[in-house]
Chain A
Amino acid sequence: MSRLLFTKEGPAVWMSHLDLMRTLQRAFRRGGLMLKHSQGYSPHPELSIVLPLSVGVSSVCELADFELEPDCSVPVGEIAARLNPVLPAGIRVLDCFEQGKKAGKLAFLRSELRLTYDQATGNRQQATDPSVAAHSVRHAVPRSDEAEGERISPLASLGRNDRVEALRELFARPSLIVEKHGKNGPVELDLSPMIRSLSVSSQNGREIMIEVLGCAQNPTLNPLLLAAAIERYLPECRPDFVQCRRIEVYDAEMQVFR
């Protein structure tokens, strides 16, 4: 199996896992790269994504494993040049490797969570259905009518430095229980053991950045759950908007995983 390193950004963040699979399969064909197909009644191409990404999350470190037909011998060094001209906006192959490390060796995941505070709490909008996208927090949307948007919430008085401090304290707690939507309804989950390191920094008046290194597998730390933890423990620090980005993946020795 060869391994592809690629980005999923811009409009591509809204593609689902299945959309991405289909898109990559077609891009291989467009690039004149015939994927090997499985045997059987309905043969499918040999292509898999190492660690599927939630819809709405961007990434600069996605990995996909694939195998080409034996008679399609293209050196790995050429793959990116074949695929990049035929990929949709937001997906870009950064590199390609003859052989990737065993998927089971993927241990840690570095992500970035951007919390935005830019409006009055009175206008918060309930997420219609948390299952439609990965975000487990409420998303507020800016209103077009200025008059509404100017209403100042009493909580806005919490200064940004206080907010950063409060968040640091929160993530230093020995346990952080959040509710997660499992297959059989909500389940409780303790995030603390899954967090290896975490930093909180203030970007500007409206934004706080959380950088987190967490478990990549068994179980995977979904960084968006950190926002759920804020909501649960520090409702006064609940952001109006959360964006998440996957930065890098590592093995157990903290070597970059490829």
Chain B
Amino acid sequence: MKKRIDEALERILPNVQKPARYVGGEYNQTVKDLQADSIDLRVAFCFPDTYEIGMSNLGIRILYGIMNQMPGVWCERVFTPWGDMEEAMRQVGVPLYALESHDPVKDFDMIAFSVGYEMSYTNILTMLDLAGVPLHAADREGLHNIVFAGGACTYNPEPLADFFDFFSLGEGEQSTVEILECYRAAKQAGLSKAAFLENVSKIPGVYVPSFYEHRYNPDGTLAEIVPLHGAPAKVTKRIVQDLDKAYYPTKTIVASTEIVHDRMNLEVMRGCIRGCRFCQAGYTYRPVRPRLPETLFDQAVASLEDSGCHEITLSSLSTSDYRYLEPLTDRLTDYCAARKINLSVPSLRADNFSRELMLKLQKVRKSGLTFAPEAGTQRLRDAINKNVTEEDILKTCEIAFAGGWNNVKLYFMLGLPTETDEDVIGIGDLVYKIYNTWKACASNKKRGVRIHVAVAFFVPKPFTGFQWEQQTTPEEYLRRCRLLKEHLNNKSVEFNYHEAKLSELEAVLARGDRRLGALLEAAWRKGAKLDGWMEYFDYDKWIAALEECGIDRSFYTTRGFGLDEVLPWDTIDPGVTKRFLLRERERAYRSEITPDCRHGCAGCGANRLLDCGVCDP
């Protein structure tokens, strides 16, 4: 089969875009010998998006390394082929194959997905179908081709429940090993799939959707969720207790072709101290756990030397909140400057952006300045708990413009709960003030200034303070976009906004229930694929699928969820409690901020996941 696949690839690849992403062979890929390494468990690790996106994902690299460290296990990578490649593969009859061995995915024991974006759901179906694996978990018998998933989207896995045998919730460093061992034991003992699922469901963090029955009220809302087969009423996500001892991929694959984040990624901490009320990652990655700067420095040096990359980024949800940023950047800038390595620090916040840090980074390279005030007025920023003031933003811009920066990117959201026209116009006012700051402080006015304003359509997500909120209608969102545009007339300002339709569907899937499995399949059968890509996103196919399935999308978007309604994701415990989220919602309506974790624990509940029970953010 491999030979046939290779021969066919020789002929397909000259005719597809970016063929290098379909062949593997990169430096540091893991190749094992089935006999010599006594491989008894093969995992096809699938990422439901393109190679360029998937290879930029740190989580994939961590789990790839961890699985391949296990003796007898060989984990290989699989990505979604671009449309031209998919078509060529179907035409010639090449099944979905893994990059390392070029063996068909169908030959693998386990098929693991990492799902981080709602609009990649149809890619999962494309991949299973191209692999020749039945889409529905119920149609897959026996232990061969067990399909499971982890990743940010699995905090509400219900829309995917039909297709997956189980989900692995939270950080997979330890649970993935336990899951693979459980599978291996089941395979050796010749267990049935049902018996394996019972065993695997006993691993903390594992959620087997077929062990839960969802019952609905006549009005379509959930009536109750009934655990079956002795399954736990709540499945709590897993976390790594000690990040300094956790595996970090210092020896990681270096892509042979350009990927989105083509650099080393140093994860300085997990979790976020801020608690922005719209941000799912901010809540679900808690508790906050920083790494020690010594650990990070060693990891940086090891991974830079091993990969030969000349760029490294300090990543986390809010890197400027990292407790040891100063000592870490001090050491790293010296190391990097001596070796002509670029050091970048994304997601800098305006309020603690120091001149020193900026100058330090400038030594290596001057990158653009990025802020995410998210809202235009202080009232609304308080309501969403984005604790940044206009003064902070203008002060930072002042320093940056005086230091020679002339490029600012600003991110906002429209359609936020409690938002009024005043808040929309407030964005225009803020941008105008930034422009005036540039005029007053720029060190070199001849080069001009570029202010990019990017607007996203607010999508209410599970496990946020806004998980019950109504989404604004696309029409209203677009009206607010136009209103903002009228208040941004300045040649130096570039304005763009997210597609409303995409964000509307994202909202449907994000808070979707089990009944949406049929919708996903119908949309996919109509040809929906690569929906996160404008080249492919086709709203009409989704509308037709909604109609075919008799699903009213407003049920999931503009309706809003009742505060005492049973939520589809109520079985999942991500650490933060529903009580805390409700409190955050109330504070939002009072425009009342919640201080960050370092100024006092707000009692979100995530500390319960720590062995010691207390956060040390």
Q: Which A residues are within 8 Å of any B CB, using their own CB? A: 10-12, 14-16, 18-19, 22-23, 25-31, 34, 37, 42-43, 55-56, 86-90, 125, 127-129, 132-135, 139-145, 241, 243
A31 smallest CB distance to B (angstroms): 8
B24 smallest CB distance to A (angstroms): 6
In the complex, the answer to whether A11 meets B25 with C-beta atoms within 8 Å is yes
Contacts of B14 in A (CB 8 A): 55-56, 127, 133-135, 139
- Cα A30 to Cα B93 with chains together (Å): 39
A111 smallest CB distance to B (angstroms): 16
Contacts of A25 in B (CB 8 A): 308, 310
Contacts of B305 in A (CB 8 A): 29-30
B16, B20, B256, B257, most chain A CB atoms within 10 A: B256
Q: Known: A25-B310, A26-B254, A128-B84. Contact between A141 and B11, CB under 8 A?
A: yes
Contacts of A18 in B (CB 8 A): 258
Contact of A142 among B7, B22, B24 (CB under 8 A): B7
Q: A29-B305, A132-B15 are in contact. List 11 more A-B contacts (CB 8 A).
A: A19-B20, A27-B27, A56-B14, A88-B25, A129-B17, A133-B13, A141-B11, A141-B12, A142-B92, A143-B91, A144-B93
A11, A29, A55, A127, most chain B CB atoms within 10 A: A11
- Going nearest first, the 9 A-B pairs with the smallest beta carbon separation are A144-B93, A11-B25, A26-B308, A89-B25, A29-B308, A30-B308, A11-B23, A14-B19, A133-B14
In the complex, the answer to whether A241 meets B93 with C-beta atoms within 8 Å is no
- Cα A203 to Cα B324 with chains together (Å): 67
Q: Known: A88-B25, A139-B14. Contact between A27 and B93, CB under 8 A?
A: no
Contact of B15 among A23, A30, A90, A139 (CB under 8 A): A139
A164 smallest CB distance to B (angstroms): 23
Contacts of A141 in B (CB 8 A): 8, 11-12, 88, 91-92
Contacts of A132 in B (CB 8 A): 15-17
- Cα A10 to Cα B10 with chains together (Å): 10
Q: Does B579 contact A (CB under 8 A)?
A: no
- Cα A148 to Cα B278 with chains together (Å): 56
Contact of B13 among A14, A90, A142, A143 (CB under 8 A): A14
Contact of B258 among A19, A31, A241 (CB under 8 A): A19
Contacts of B302 in A (CB 8 A): none
In the complex, the answer to whether A86 meets B19 with C-beta atoms within 8 Å is no
Contact of A19 among B88, B257, B308 (CB under 8 A): B257
In the complex, the answer to whether A12 meets B256 with C-beta atoms within 8 Å is yes
Contacts of B91 in A (CB 8 A): 125, 141, 143
- Nearest to B84 among chain A residues (CB) is A128
In the complex, the answer to whether B254 meets A128 with C-beta atoms within 8 Å is no
In the complex, the answer to whether B308 meets A27 with C-beta atoms within 8 Å is yes
In the complex, the answer to whether B27 meets A133 with C-beta atoms within 8 Å is no
- Nearest to B88 among chain A residues (CB) is A141
- Cα A128 to Cα B27 with chains together (Å): 30
Contact of B340 among A30, A37, A88 (CB under 8 A): A37
A29, A56, A142, most chain B CB atoms within 10 A: A29
Contacts of A15 in B (CB 8 A): 20, 256-257
In the complex, the answer to whether A128 meets B15 with C-beta atoms within 8 Å is yes
17 contacts between A and B (CB under 8 A): A14-B20, A14-B22, A15-B20, A15-B257, A16-B20, A19-B257, A30-B306, A30-B307, A34-B339, A128-B15, A129-B15, A135-B15, A139-B11, A141-B12, A141-B91, A142-B92, A144-B94
Q: Does B309 contact A (CB under 8 A)?
A: yes
- Cα A134 to Cα B15 with chains together (Å): 9
Give residues 353-410 of B contacting A (CB, 8 Å). Answer: 365
- Cα A140 to Cα B15 with chains together (Å): 10
Contacts of A135 in B (CB 8 A): 14-15
In the complex, the answer to whether A16 meets B308 with C-beta atoms within 8 Å is no
In the complex, the answer to whether B256 meets A19 with C-beta atoms within 8 Å is yes
In the complex, the answer to whether B25 meets A90 with C-beta atoms within 8 Å is yes
Contacts of B307 in A (CB 8 A): 26, 30
Give residues 1-52 of B contacting A (CB, 8 Å). Answer: 7-8, 10-17, 19-20, 22-27
A231 smallest CB distance to B (angstroms): 15
- Cα A18 to Cα B20 with chains together (Å): 12
B102 smallest CB distance to A (angstroms): 10
In the complex, the answer to whether B308 meets A86 with C-beta atoms within 8 Å is yes
Contact of B256 among A23, A34, A243 (CB under 8 A): A23
Q: Known: A26-B309, A30-B307, A34-B339. Contact between A241 and B11, CB under 8 A?
A: yes
Contact with A along B253-275 (1 / 0, CB 8 A): 01011100010000000000000
Contacts of A142 in B (CB 8 A): 7-8, 11, 92
In the complex, the answer to whether B308 meets A88 with C-beta atoms within 8 Å is no
- Cα A6 to Cα B12 with chains together (Å): 26
Contacts of A31 in B (CB 8 A): 308
In the complex, the answer to whether B27 meets A143 with C-beta atoms within 8 Å is no
In the complex, the answer to whether A143 meets B24 with C-beta atoms within 8 Å is no
Contacts of B25 in A (CB 8 A): 10-12, 88-90
In the complex, the answer to whether A140 meets B11 with C-beta atoms within 8 Å is yes
In the complex, the answer to whether A56 meets B11 with C-beta atoms within 8 Å is no
B483 smallest CB distance to A (angstroms): 40
In the complex, the answer to whether A29 meets B92 with C-beta atoms within 8 Å is no
- Nearest to B365 among chain A residues (CB) is A42
Contact of A14 among B8, B11, B23, B254 (CB under 8 A): B23
Q: Known: A29-B310, A30-B305. Contact between A127 and B27, CB under 8 A?
A: no
- Cα A11 to Cα B16 with chains together (Å): 15
- Nearest to B31 among chain A residues (CB) is A89
- Cα A6 to Cα B157 with chains together (Å): 49
- Cα A132 to Cα B83 with chains together (Å): 14
Contacts of B17 in A (CB 8 A): 129, 132
Give residues 254-305 of B contacting A (CB, 8 Å). Answer: 254, 256-258, 262, 305
- Cα A29 to Cα B340 with chains together (Å): 11
A94 smallest CB distance to B (angstroms): 19
A238 smallest CB distance to B (angstroms): 15
Give residues 441-463 of B contacting A (CB, 8 Å). Answer: none
A146 smallest CB distance to B (angstroms): 11
In the complex, the answer to whether A16 meets B15 with C-beta atoms within 8 Å is no
A251 smallest CB distance to B (angstroms): 31
In the complex, the answer to whether B13 meets A56 with C-beta atoms within 8 Å is yes
- Cα A140 to Cα B94 with chains together (Å): 14
Give residues 76-113 of B contacting A (CB, 8 Å). Answer: 84, 88, 91-94
- Cα A42 to Cα B365 with chains together (Å): 8
